[in-house]
Amino acid sequence: MMSATMKRSLLIVAAVPALAFGLTACGGGADGKYIGEVESATNAGYTTLTIDGNTITYQAFYCSNTPKADEKSIGQLNDNQTQVIWTQEGTWEGNDQISMTDDALSIAGETFTREGTDAAQAQLKEHRETCSD
């Protein structure tokens, strides 16, 4: 027969991993900035998606590196971060499905790579070279 102290110790040992997993699942694992391409034949540029908690902000930048006010959208991610509901419409409107990996995310077929990755660095380098011409 186990003592009450031993039962409590086992309960604590069993609860710690579950609590840690729960905090990881609820945490802002997707938080950060992601870099995408501007879909424009006339303007060289890049786009950013910034995730802060459940808030997502899309912004387009061109050679001047000045954000375009009419190409900004703000939205909210649902609880399981599979859909964004655009609350301040601009480039994006309504609702869109979102899928995420460790280094990238995709919304409606448009891919964004996490800032600091090789792919994002290469994209920003290409932007700087194109805009310096």
Residue 39 lies in a domain: yes
With pLDDT > 90 as the criterion, what percentage of the chain qualifies? 41
CA dist., res. 25 & res. 36, Å (int): 26
Give yes or no for a contact between 98 and 107, defined as CB atoms under 8 angstroms apart.
Answer: yes
Q: How many folded domains does the chain comprise?
A: 1
Dist. CA 57–CA 35, nearest whole Å: 12
Containing domain of residue 50, as a range?
Answer: 32-132
Residue 26 lies inside a defined structural domain of this protein: no
Return the DSSP state at 37: E
18 falls within a domain: no
Q: How far apart are CA 129 and CA 25, in angstroms?
A: 39
- Whether 62 is in a domain gets the answer yes
**pLDDT-derived band of residue 33, with 50, 70 and 90 as boundaries?**
very high
The CATH number of residue 128's host domain is 2.40.128.50
Token pair for 20: 């840690």
Specify if 61 maps to a domain: yes
In a domain, residue 115? The reply is: yes
pTM score: 0.71
pLDDT digits (tens, 9 = 90+) for 69-124: 778 899 999 998 899 999 987 888 899 999 999 899 999 889 999 999 999 999 88
Whether residue 47 contacts residue 36, with contact meaning beta carbons closer than 8 Å, is answered with: yes
